[in-house]
Chains A and B, each alone.
Chain A
Amino acid sequence: MTTSDAATAVMPARHYLNEQRGIRSWLLTTDHKRIGLLYLFSITAFFFLGGFFALLIRLQLLSPEGALMTSDVYNRMFTMHGVIMVFFFLIPSIPATLGNFLIPIMIGAKDLAFPRINLLSWYIYVLAGLFALASLVLGGVDTGWTFYTPFSTSFSNTPVVTAGLGVFIAGFSSILTGLNFIVTIHRMRAPGMTWFRLPLFVWAHYATSLIMVLGTPVVAITVLLLAFERVLRVGIFDPSIGGDPVLFQHLFWFYSHPAVYIMVLPGMGVMSELVASGARKNVFGYSFVAFSSLAIAIIGFLVWGHHMFVAGQTVYAGLVFSILTYLVGVPSAVKTFNWTATLYKGSISYDTPTLYAFGFLGLFLVGGLTGLFLAAIGLDIHLTDTYFVVAHFHYIMVGGTLMAYLGGLHFWWPKITGRLYPEGWAKLSALVVFIGFNLTFFPQFIVGYLGMPRRYAMYPPEFQLFNVMSTAGASILGFGYLLPMIYLTWAWFYGKPAGNNPWGSKGLEWETTSPPPTFNFDRTPVVTEATHAYGHPEEVKVA
């Protein structure tokens, strides 16, 4: 938009969106870009469904006695909100949409290594989504998204197995995506695209894929064991038939903590691109940012016990998990400092993606720092299972991942659709989301420290003020999410043509047309410089 060619840009004659037409050409496509869009449509549907539940949750909590529904209905609401947002929105969000669309282009490839498996992963996701919707139609599940035993196996009268199968199946979609990315990044890089010239977005997805491939089978097994106990009464987790309920927590969090990094690492990858492009400057300390992703992925596998500090774990186990949790915080701090340093002596735009990047930085900072509170066991004893935890993980997953996702969507929307969105509305949305988010979740830190437990349909009246603030914020936040939905859709059809490189940014994706041709490049590109090498090429050295 800032470069002169934007005014005269026209849509390319042939691109991946118009080369083939009709519903068949979409449902049978093996083009990573179209599959990315199929994912985009499906996860957006789930996002608004999960968001609708969030809104009902917030309305209920307007009044201490519960303003809207019975406890039973409320329990189903927060469970379905969690299940849908975690497994059907956040985990696939950035990798399956932006990752799918961009990784092959960023490394100069025609497609992912296994295009058909890529399509298969989407169908698996849809099948899993149908199970989730079926569990909803059957009345909804009331176990919490964590499915803790023995409540889930022996006490709940809701379709736990149906929802569990949804999670089980969705896992395979995730595994296939991760596998595809790993192979693609290893084998399909264009000539000259060395590992240390890879965009940090690709590094982050590489780390994420490792977790997807190594971690997801564990949650699949765990959910299967849960189904065995619930259906066949094999004693695994329920002590009344010889099981151990804490074993479930170990197995569940062994995946579900790394899953947090599945959600946030791709967001960090987006962030590196947004900051570099927004400042027209290479990311400060490239290799430290790249390796911190790997460090997070590896150490992230060793911290699951910090979810169980009050669950009868020994003192020694608690200490080990506490210190490892602090260690995983360090690479996140390193990234934050590097992004900040990237801005120094940059040429910083105030375009929408940069605003979202600033928003990410602010919210991720709060989310990360409050993680330090929870890693201190002596403090976690008081804080765990309260709204402090709820606020913390929303700052990471929504403040971090969702801000990055929206920032990334805005940044690459001209590439995806070939058209520009209305910048004024987009800036407004970034501002509204940031304000609405903080108003929703910051009061929850305070009410959490006051002792309000999570998953309460009713609460003592002295907590009301903070809950009302939270609900007010959620309404603003909801509006902030609807805005991009509307103007991005509008822009797809009516936006001005974007041209190849509306941001004046570096990267292979900006060298091809917008939208790109089906096989991304007319000629396989040859890479001769580091990522985001603005300024004079001869000065460019990798840190």
Chain B
Amino acid sequence: MHPSIPLFPEQASTMAARVDNLYFFMVATSAFFAVLVTLLVIAFAIRFRRRSPDGVGEPIHGSLALELIWTGIPFVIAMVMFVWGASVYFALARMPDEALDIYAVGKQWMWKFQHREGQREINELHVPVNTPVRVIMTSEDVLHDLYFPSFRTKTDAIPGRYTQLWFTATDVGTYHIFCAEYCGTRHSGMIGRVVVMPQNEYEAWLGGAATEGTLAQRGEKLFTQFACVTCHRADAAARGPLLNGVFGHAVALTNGNSVIADAAYVRESILNPTAKVVAGFAPIMPTFQGQVTEEQLLALTEYIKSLPTLQQVPGAQAAPPPTAPAPPK
């Protein structure tokens, strides 16, 4: 796959060529100015070399016109670069409307990937070709950064919050995954590979090895295991809001505000339940900080997301039928 001395990584995503084109433009512009200034310096140094020990230069003091030109031209070029860079950035930062969601948790010193269908992998990520993939990530400990050089994208995995990136792989093959944010002893060992497969092989791979059920099913088990179900229920004994149909919709809070119940809100409500209490309920839920891992949080979130909408859900406002879930923050 590599020529003998590669100068660029493979272009293996829909964004790779766009990023590279910007890079080539930058290289060309920079080379032009670097060569221009270098040639001028060399030409002047030869043409105006000191010919006698007492020689002095001509007193030329400057030129407003020249100053304006060489302030103006770099400014215009800089703005072209800014706009071009920003447009590529918009494309990288805007998540696709329909994407295959995969969860990632960074942990000293490994990447754990979780497919919604249940497959879990470490330092290896299988994805289908020509399919938009969104990776939603967090970190269990320190800062990490999930970097796919062949897809020209990366994002920090930050403990305590969710970040995300997307790519659409265009070529079947195996590519590097790096941790790009220094994270301690085995930072340089926190690498892996992303395996891009044809769609049908990916389906087969998903159904291949035995799993403990889908991510939502694991979340359901945890929902019972952590006894969430004793309060979050539909009957009169409920001391917490019923969670059906809540995900992705506005929730009224005791303080009069409302919040969109996204992954970040679900996570916060489990770890720091009194931060934003749903209207009509007492702040009695205990914290699960330290008892539930980031991966379990993702499973619980996925379970809550999967719950069918019921009519007249307590605590939720009159909700429209679920559409695309709000992106996690």
Contact = CB atoms under 8 A, between A and B. Distances in A.
Contacts of A465: 5
A362 B38 contact: yes
Contacts of A535: 56-59
A366 B34 contact: yes
A69 to B, nearest CB: 12
Nearest to A350: B49
Given A75-B187, A382-B153, A377 B23 contact: no
A386 B61 CA distance: 43
B57 A280 contact: yes
Contacts of B320: none
A470 interface: no
Given A373-B26, A450-B8, 9 more contacts: A71-B189, A148-B143, A245-B143, A281-B59, A343-B41, A347-B50, A361-B37, A370-B30, A376-B86
B204 interface: no
Contacts of B156: 310-312
B154 interface: yes
Contact of A378 (B19, B158, B179, B186): B19
A348 interface: yes
Contacts of B30: 366, 369-370, 372-373
A150 interface: yes
A239 B56 CA distance: 64
Given A239-B159, A337-B70, A451 B178 contact: yes
A22 B180 CA distance: 53
B149 A282 contact: no
B46 to A, nearest CB: 9
Interface in B118-168: 141-143, 145, 147, 149-150, 152-156, 158-161, 163
Nearest to B289: A240
A372 B6 contact: no
Most A CB within 10 A of own CB, among B54, B70, B155: B70
A322 to B, nearest CB: 6
A384 B182 contact: no
Contacts of B180: 384-386, 453-454
Contacts of B90: 315, 378
Contact of A142 (B6, B81, B84, B184): B184
Contact of B184 (A156, A239, A326, A375): A156
Interface string B175-210: 010111111111111010000000000000000000
A382 B61 contact: no
Contacts of A336: 37
Interface of B: 2, 5-9, 18-19, 22-23, 26, 29-30, 33-34, 37-38, 40-41, 44-45, 48-51, 53-64, 66-67, 70-71, 74-75, 78-79, 81-82, 84-93, 108, 141-143, 145, 147, 149-150, 152-156, 158-161, 163, 176, 178-189, 191, 289
B189 A288 contact: no
B61 A451 contact: no
Given A334-B70, A381-B92, A340 B40 contact: yes
A346 B48 contact: yes
Interface string A462-475: 10010000000000
A362 B86 CA distance: 29
Nearest to A152: B142
Contacts of A382: 19, 149, 152-154
A329 interface: yes
Contacts of B66: 285, 337, 341
A329 to B, nearest CB: 6
A420 to B, nearest CB: 15
B89 A323 contact: no
A285 B70 CA distance: 12
Q: Interface residues of A toward B: which range?
A: 35 or more
A72 interface: yes
A240 B160 contact: yes
A451 B9 contact: yes
A541 interface: yes
Contacts of B79: 323, 326
16 contacts: A245-B158, A281-B60, A310-B145, A310-B156, A341-B66, A345-B48, A362-B38, A373-B26, A376-B86, A379-B22, A379-B23, A379-B26, A381-B153, A382-B152, A385-B180, A451-B178
A541 B88 contact: no
Contacts of A282: 59-61
A284 B78 CA distance: 23
B54 A312 contact: no
Contacts, number: 306
Interface of A: 2-4, 71-72, 75, 142-144, 148, 150-151, 154-156, 238-240, 244-246, 279-282, 284-288, 309-312, 315, 318-319, 322-323, 326-327, 329-330, 333-334, 336-338, 340-341, 343-350, 358, 361-362, 365-366, 369-370, 372-373, 375-382, 384-386, 446, 449-451, 453-460, 462, 465, 504, 533-536, 539-543
Nearest to A288: B67
A512 to B, nearest CB: 21
Contacts of A450: 6-9, 149
B82 A322 contact: yes
A542 B90 CA distance: 47
A415 to B, nearest CB: 19
A482 B78 CA distance: 39
A322 B61 contact: no
Given A281-B56, A333-B74, A369-B33, A378 B48 contact: no
A223 to B, nearest CB: 18
Given A284-B62, A379-B19, A453-B178, A365 B154 contact: no
Contacts of B92: 378, 381
B8 A365 contact: no
Nearest to A336: B37
Given A151-B184, A377-B86, A460-B176, A534 B149 contact: no
B78 A327 contact: yes
Contact of B147 (A148, A323, A453): A453
Contact of B84 (A71, A238, A344, A378): A378
B85 A322 contact: yes
Query: Closest 3 A-B residue pairs measured CB to CB?
Result: A378-B88, A376-B85, A451-B149
B86 to A, nearest CB: 6
A542 B48 contact: no
A449 B71 CA distance: 29
Nearest to B7: A446
Contact of B59 (A244, A311, A539): A539
B181 to A, nearest CB: 6
A405 B153 CA distance: 38
A348 B59 contact: no
A75 to B, nearest CB: 7
Nearest to A248: B143
A504 B45 CA distance: 18
Contacts of A381: 19, 89, 92, 152-154
A347 B88 contact: no
Contacts of B82: 322-323, 326, 375-376
Contacts of B149: 382, 450-451
Contacts of B2: 462
Contacts of B78: 326-327, 329-330, 372
A215 B61 CA distance: 34
Contacts of B91: 378
Contacts of A375: 81-82, 85
